Amino acid sequence: MLNGIVLTVQIGLFLIGLYQLVLSFFGLKLKKDKVRHAPKKTFAVLVAAHNEEKVVGALIDNLKAMDYPKEMYDIFVICDNCTDGTADIARAHGVYAMERFNAVLRGKGYAIEWMLRELWAMPKKYDAVAMFDADNLVDPNYLREMNDDLCNGSRVVQAYLDTKNPVDSWITSAYGITYWFCNRLWQMPRRNLKMANFLGGTGMCFESKLLKEMGWGATSLVEDLEFTMRCVQRGVYPTFNYDAKVYDEKPLTFNASARQRLRWMQGHFDVARRYFFPLLWSGLKERNFTKIDTALYSVTVYNVLIAFVFTVILMIDQARPGDPSLISIYNFVPASAGVLFMLLIYMQFPLALALEGVKSWKPYIALLLFPLFLLSWYPITFHAFFTQNNKRWSHTQHTRVLRLDDVQKF
């Protein structure tokens, strides 16, 4: 029986990997057929901030300089449980400082939910809401791109997520490689196939009418993934804007990165547990492949966990004295076939760098250490499984100030 389970798991993981590999080919081509519109939509631009006095001023200056009529957007800094000068800096820059203090309901999801209630109660109304983190920087064309997408029928839009500091360390390079891959070979295929894209936590834009209809309701540790699931359940498919770029600061050290990714994985387990089966069943019943694809994405965290557990089991079995007692897929196919398949999967990453026009040599050199970054997801995910009930939000410290002029296409 155990042999049957091992084979079934290996075949299942192979098929999931093959599915994503095939899907990535649909991201090779960039479609540039968007209809352009004059500025029409008004925007409330929300900046989530917790003790971000070091970096929030640079983002506010950046947002105020966007290439969009100034009377058509307002900037609100959500000063969530701040004990520093974040609110004072926001006011000094001439934008709204929305101060929130709640020692129980902590975290970005709760802060956004509170801010939206405050926003709907204001006399001025906005067509859409854009959301950023305080450490971000934004290309000047962001609101014009969102305006175009909204006018063309999108109700939820995710911008292109890039990294502010991809050459600071091998860890930030690993994040940069991951982002370039996800934008081009994960998000773009789904956009080209008119499937649902996935929200990335910042650079998101929402039609106000939809937010009022649905409510925010995304208060897990991964509010972006949770809201994606809720949208797809309703038949609302988030779209991906390749031309609107948002730059996110990434942690410099492995330890800081591990803490951040642990929080993500804890949240992923929570969302997968609540949304996988309802979305999968709905997709099968409606013959809706987009819902099935989204359900499969929600359960990726379990794929990583299962792959790790069964890899350890097989390694222990191989290391024991005597002949191995477990049968694996490699008893039926040459080991070289498995190596070739893994190589094809890995080659997507340098391919993404080339497709995205990365010119600096440092991210290419970082590809040598990138497998360590990928492997580190296994113990992090394993730890997250046993601590998934920890809903405590952890803050990533940002102390380095970069301006948009400092950020370039690496």
pLDDT of residue 3: 77
Position 302 scores a pLDDT of 95
Separation of alpha carbons 289 and 215, rounded Å:
26
Same-domain status, 233 and 140: yes
For residues 8 and 87, membership in a common domain is answered with no
> In total, how many domains does the chain have?
2
85: helix, strand or coil: coil
CATH number of the domain within which 225 lies: 3.90.550.10
Distance of CA 95 to the CA centre of its chain: 27
**Residues 136 and 237 reside in one and the same domain:** yes
Say yes or no: 208 and 84 in one domain.
yes
Is residue 260 situated within a structural domain? no
DSSP 330: G
User: Domain check: are 18 and 74 in the same one?
Assistant: no
Question: Does 400 reside within a domain?
Answer: no
Domain assignment of residue 397, yes or no = no
3-state SS class at 354: helix
Q: Which long-range contacts (CB under 8 A, 24 or more apart) does 207-210 make?
A: 207/127, 207/128, 207/150, 207/154, 207/155, 207/156, 208/44, 208/125, 208/126, 208/127, 208/128, 208/129, 210/155, 210/156, 210/236
Concatenated DSSP letters for 255-320?
HHHHHHHHHHHHHHHHHHHHHHHHHHHHHHHHT-HHHHHHHHHHTHHHHHHHHHHHHHHHHHHHHS
Q: Considering the domain boundaries, does residue 401 fall inside one?
A: no
Q: Are residues 118 and 90 in the same domain?
A: yes
Residues 109 and 216 in one domain: yes
Cα–Cα distance for residue pair 85/92, rounded to 1 Å: 10
**Cα gap 393→381, rounded to integer Å:** 17
Query: Does some domain include residue 408?
Result: no
Q: How far apart are CA 52 and CA 93, in angstroms?
A: 14
Q: Take residue 174 and report the two structure tokens written for it.
A: 């690993």
Same domain, 235 and 282: no
pLDDT tens-digit profile, the chain (410 residues): 777 888 888 889 889 999 999 999 999 988 777 899 999 999 999 999 999 999 999 999 999 999 999 999 999 999 999 999 999 999 999 999 999 999 888 889 999 999 999 999 999 999 999 999 999 999 999 999 999 999 999 999 999 999 998 999 999 999 999 999 999 999 999 999 999 999 999 999 999 999 999 999 888 889 999 999 999 999 999 999 999 999 999 999 999 999 999 999 999 999 999 999 999 999 999 999 999 999 999 999 999 999 999 888 888 877 777 666 777 777 777 777 878 888 989 999 999 999 999 988 999 999 999 999 999 999 999 999 999 887 665 556 655 666 666 665 55
Task: Identify which of 408, 405, 398 has the alpha carbon closest to the alpha carbon of residue 48.
Answer: 398
Q: Are residues 303 and 208 in the same domain?
A: no
363: containing domain: 2-27+272-319+326-386
Say whether both 293 and 165 belong to one domain. no
pLDDT at 32: 74
